[in-house]
Amino acid sequence: METPILQIDDLSTHFFTRDGVVRAVDNLTCHVGAGEALGIVGESGCGKSVTSLSVMRLVQSPSGRIVNGAIRLQGRDLLALSEKEMREIRGNEISMIFQEPMTSLNPVLSIGCQLIETIRRHRGVSGKEAWQRAVDMLRLVQIPEPDQRMREYPHQLSGGMRQRIMIAMAFACDPKVLIADEPTTALDVTIQAQILALMSDLQKRLGTAVVLITHDLGVVAETCQRVIVMYAGRKVEEADVGDLFDRPRHPYTKGLMASMPHLHRGLGNGQRLKEIPGMVPSLLDPPPGCRFAGRCAHATALCTTEEPPLTETGPRHWVACWHTGAPAEVAQ
Amino acid sequence: MSTALLEVSGLKKHYALDGGLFRKPTRTLAAVDGVSFTISSGETLGLVGESGCGKSTTAKMIVRLTETTEGSIRICGEDISTLGAGAMRHKRRDVQIIFQDPYSSLNPRMRAGDIVAEPLRNFGIGREEVRTRVASLFDRVGLRSDYVARFPHEFSGGQRQRLGIARALALEPKLIVCDEPVSALDVSVQAQVINLLTDLQRELGIAYLFVAHDLAVVEHISHRVAVMYLGRIVEMADRQTLFSDPRHPYTQALLAAAPSSHPRQKKERLLLCGDAPSPTSPPSGCPFRTRCPIAEPGCAEAVPALRDLGEGRQVACHLR
Amino acid sequence: MAVTDTVSLPAARSTAPTKGRLARFARFVRRHPNIAIGALILTLIVACSALAPLIAPYDPDAINPAERLKPPSAAHLFGTDAFGRDVLSRVIWGGRISLVVGLTVALFSVGIGLAIGLVAGFSRIADAVLMRVMDAMMAIPGILLAIALVALTTASIETVVFALVIPEIPRVVRLVRAMVLSLREQPFVDAARAVGTRFHMILIRHIMPNTVAPLIVQATFICAFAILGEAYLSFLGVGLPPPTSTWGSVIAEGRKVFGLAVWVVLFPGLFLGFTVLSINLIGDGLRDILDPKLSRRQ
């Protein structure tokens, strides 16, 4: 296998609060190759956003700290870099788009001004060239009348348009990795479909590695090749996307899939959805063993004492569960 | 047909813009522009649409949290849109609402028990009875009854939404307006709340107006579905009919845009171009024509009326 | 956003089991050292003033020409002033007036401000009128008002309180009005209306309790400011008439002999400073505790 663009090894990011240590991300290992789209799925508090902030080295200090692990961008350990070197990487080699495009754009600067600033900071080109590049980028993300939009301000644009601007900004310096943290959660379905199509298209054309962080399995099914499922700070399952949807092995993944109502599944009113009982455990002094044990129907004494290791149960399919020996069922 | 539990006809909500104390408003925003539908008892009507289509405003008008500009809202035959405050207060026992945000819809300084007891106390129910009824409501929505003394911040999102449901159930309403009740919840918790709502309907025969943007959730919970666009209903039909054979181009686009539930079902989809126009300056004629893949010049001339196409289906399109 | 989400997760769990009162107290002190320190200083000062008749070594107004301007000694811990009066006794007694003025001003300004603010927050017409009146009130300098009042009437504790309350009211009104305007848009107020809660109950049960926390914080700052204000007024000679001792008047009298007897100014100054500091410490601490956004981040 070729060396991945981004390799994360044993990453642990903890938050040191007055109440104790919150283990937001615990021993996470994963990688993304060039031109690949990796989905990280999980519910709120599972550590998926903290993972992305860790890669960007934007974890809020002093309470949050990366306590262990390595993050390698083409073999270079990002955790060993100085803040100054890291600034060179952010927005240049690794870009990020966030859920709420309004808060990520400066309301008092025009779109063009912000785009040009990003381009000039990393490219060192003249103002005129940067302007041209910015207009090209807006055209690339299919914004009509790009010259006109350059002079407009964020509040004059719709949510979908602002997210396109963010994408343009993220791609402006030809990043090697794009981290998209819930990029379409704040958008309407028809706009979400537009943005996802745009992102997939750009990814294919430019060969960027994409890490897509989302709570929506549907979004993953739509755009990713490989998926990591996270629960309470840990990776519980990793597989190719088709494999994961066909043969989910971890009880949490199965539960997640079964609890989602699906379009056209004909499950009418009156029929119950499968629920996962209980709620996510506190990441402050989490229970020993498997973190899902408290909500799992198959949990045994072993599950509550020993942490299950990640085991490869199929080609490129890893699961952290003691009970994957049972024949896998296709999720209903 | 017997009289419907809820009968909304010609409902409109217009906001005046640019107005002030001494200035005449120059523009109006038609958030809801002539919406009509009915709900029978024990039935769920799903109301879907994208942000800004007026679905939440409609929901709030039905519980009179927002005043109507025009139109009538009949509950068991009585028009509540013009009732005075006192009479409306009594009518509130019949219609309740569940809110989207389980955090801001609970007073942070009230205990869980008091939140659920408030509606009962408002209608003069004795202290002892309030206590037993609150305990049974807690039990009914799946909360431990010794949680009554807790404050909202001690509950998780899903539990808070259960509290909101208990509060809405307290007065034994005939209709509950659910304004995006699960969209702020995590997927696994969402299923718990949806199941609770369907259980309650089966046991108590409550009717729901279920406002949501998630099509899969609406398909799961509704008997009938209405699709809104720019303040109007563009299509309304039985769940099965609407989801298996959508007729309005907007409904079709909406269904096509929903992410697939399996990577193999990735569809070559018809993408709508552009954004929804602003409700302050809607296009002439059909409101959807600016994004419609099949629009014809004639669409700009008149607003299409909601026509009956048989099989309990109504569509507002010139071309269908 | 995402980060605070993760970190706030433990908030959902119930409060940790407590190991008795002492442990809980120790935990509180560790978490909120500024409140603990402020409360300690303030308690000492309040206790001194409250027990003035018991602990003041001398009559604060007793003139003793033989003992004029004595530096601090065993007999007079804080020394004596130009009339031979014991500075310690005057400071202890003077604290009574200062603290009472501070407390009354805080109570009146918050009470009146809350009432006006609620009305302004709920009625658009009243709002337009009241806020212009408040703007006008804000333009009156407290000191000038006090001077005018003393010139018109006699100097008394009521005059001082009145002069200090007037300029504080608009500040409280603005705070309350802003809070009411945002609270009435909150979904839980809509929820209360939807379950048939009457208007006055919405006000009492849903709006007012949610304004209390910021108001308590504001009240501590007003209290501290009023204690200083009373000192200014007494210093300028428009406060309470002599021989009543307040910290301000003791300092004012000491000013004349500052070069000879620095202690006459120093000790009441220190008491004044520590009182204001302790109240501000408590106010800051309370703000941290009572602001749910800040406390969640801990």
Do B122 and C198 count as a contact with CB atoms less than 8 A apart? yes
- B224-263 pLDDT, tens per residue? 999 999 999 999 999 999 998 999 999 999 888 888 777 7
- B13-44 pLDDT, tens per residue? 998 876 665 666 677 888 999 999 999 999 99
- A283-302 pLDDT, tens per residue? 887 878 899 998 888 888 89
Judging by DSSP bridges, how do beta strands A94-97 and A317-320 pair with one another? unpaired
The torsion angle over the Cα atoms of residues A160, A163, A165 and A169, rounded to 10 degrees, is -170
For residue B130, give the amino acid letter: V
What residue spans of B13-122 are helical by DSSP H?
55-62, 85-91, 112-122
Judging by DSSP bridges, how do beta strands A177-181 and B95-98 pair with one another? unpaired
Task: Tell me, yes or no, if C202 comes closer than 8 A to chain B by beta carbon.
Answer: no
pTM equals 0.84
Domain A1-93+177-251 sits in CATH at: 3.40.50.300
pLDDT at A329: 42
Regarding predicted confidence, which is higher, B187 or B95?
A: B95
Query: In this complex, which of B216, B264, B271 lies closest to A242 when CB atoms are compared?
Result: B264
Q: How far apart are CA C176 and CA C170, in angstroms?
A: 10
Q: Confidence class of residue B115 from pLDDT cuts 50, 70 and 90?
A: very high
Please tell me which residue of chain A has the smallest CA distance to B199: A270
| A50-54, A111-115, B213-217, C245-249: range with lowest mean pLDDT | C245-249
Partners of chain B (3+ Cβ pairs below 8 A): A, C
What is the residue extent of each domain of chain A? 1-93+177-251, 104-172
On the question of pLDDT at A31 being above 60, the answer is: yes
CB < 8 Å to B118, chain C = 192, 195, 197, 205
Q: How far apart are CA C292 and CA B152, in angstroms?
A: 12
- C102-150 pLDDT, tens per residue? 999 999 999 999 999 999 988 888 888 999 999 888 888 877 887 888 7
Task: Tell me, yes or no, if A82 comes closer than 8 A to chain B by beta carbon.
Answer: no
Which long-range contacts does A71-76 make (Cβ < 8 Å, 24+ apart)?
Answer: A71/A6, A71/A7, A71/A8, A71/A9, A71/A11, A72/A6, A72/A7, A72/A8, A72/A9, A73/A5, A73/A6, A73/A176, A73/A177, A74/A3, A74/A5, A74/A176, A75/A3
Cβ neighbors of C205 (< 8 A, separation 6 or more) are B107, B110, B118, C192, C197
- Percent of chain B at pLDDT above 70? 95
Please tell me which residue of chain A has the smallest CA distance to B143: A278
Q: How far apart are CA B182 and CA B193, in angstroms?
A: 7
Task: Look at the alpha carbons of B136, B142, B145, B151 in this order and tell me if their dihedral is positive or negative.
Answer: negative
pLDDT at C10: 38
Do C10 and A19 count as a contact with CB atoms less than 8 A apart? yes
Q: State the best of C1, C6, C14 to mutate against chain A, taking most chain A CBs within 10 Å.
A: C6
CB < 8 Å to A263, chain B = 215-216, 219, 243, 255, 258, 261
* pLDDT tens track, chain C, 298 positions: 333 333 333 333 444 444 578 888 888 888 888 889 999 999 998 888 888 888 888 888 877 777 777 888 878 888 887 787 888 888 888 888 888 999 999 999 999 999 999 999 888 888 889 999 998 888 888 778 878 887 787 778 888 888 889 889 999 999 999 999 999 989 999 999 999 999 999 998 999 888 888 898 889 889 888 888 888 888 887 777 766 778 888 888 888 888 888 888 888 889 888 998 998 898 888 887 776 544 443 3
Mean pLDDT, range B115-121, rounded to an integer: 95
Q: Are B15 and B27 in contact (CB under 8 A)?
A: no
Mean pLDDT, range B173-199, rounded to an integer: 91
Judging by DSSP bridges, how do beta strands A209-214 and A177-181 pair with one another? parallel
Mean pLDDT, range B46-72, rounded to an integer: 92
ipTM above 0.85, yes or no: yes
C212 closest CA partner among C280, C286, C282: C286
Mean pLDDT, range A140-168, rounded to an integer: 87
pLDDT at B10: 93
Residue in the structure block whose two tokens are 């208007």? C199
Q: Set out the domains of chain B in order of their start, with CATH numbers.
A: 42-64+84-222 (3.40.50.300), 247-320 (no CATH)
Q: Confidence class of residue A265 from pLDDT cuts 50, 70 and 90?
A: low
Other C-beta atoms closer than 10 Å to the C-beta of A24 total 28
- B283-306 pLDDT, tens per residue? 888 989 988 888 888 898 889 999
What is the residue extent of each domain of chain C? 52-66+76-296
pLDDT at B184: 85
Partners of chain C (3+ Cβ pairs below 8 A): A, B
- B157-172 pLDDT, tens per residue? 899 999 999 999 999 9
Query: In this complex, which of B44, B190, B215 lies closest to A263 when CB atoms are compared?
Result: B215
> Residue C181 corresponds to which tokens in the numbers above?
């305007």
Q: State the best of C5, C7, C15, C18 to mutate against chain A, taking most chain A CBs within 10 Å.
A: C7
Task: Tell me, yes or no, if C14 comes closer than 8 A to chain A by beta carbon.
Answer: no
Q: Are B101 and B87 in contact (CB under 8 A)?
A: no
Task: Tell me, yes or no, if A273 comes closer than 8 A to chain B by beta carbon.
Answer: yes
Q: How far apart are CA A23 and CA A153, in angstroms?
A: 40
pLDDT at C16: 45
Mean pLDDT of chain A: 87
Judging by DSSP bridges, how do beta strands A20-32 and A177-181 pair with one another? unpaired
On the question of pLDDT at B223 being above 90, the answer is: yes
Regarding predicted confidence, which is higher, C291 or B180?
A: B180
On the question of pLDDT at B269 being above 90, the answer is: no
- A251-260 pLDDT, tens per residue? 999 998 888 8
Q: How far apart are CA C153 and CA B58, in angstroms?
A: 62
Q: Confidence class of residue A40 from pLDDT cuts 50, 70 and 90?
A: very high
Task: Look at the alpha carbons of B269, B274, B280, B285 in this order and tell me if their dihedral is positive or negative.
Answer: negative
Bridge partner list, A310:
A320
- Smallest CA–CA separation between B262 and chain C, in Å? 27
Regarding predicted confidence, which is higher, A272 or C267?
A: C267
Do A18 and C6 count as a contact with CB atoms less than 8 A apart? no
Q: Confidence class of residue B57 from pLDDT cuts 50, 70 and 90?
A: very high
pLDDT at B80: 92
Domain C52-66+76-296 sits in CATH at: 1.10.3720.10
Please tell me which residue of chain B has the smallest CA distance to A44: B186
Interface of C with B in 262-291 (CB under 8 A): none
Regarding predicted confidence, which is higher, B136 or C251?
A: B136
pLDDT at B19: 61
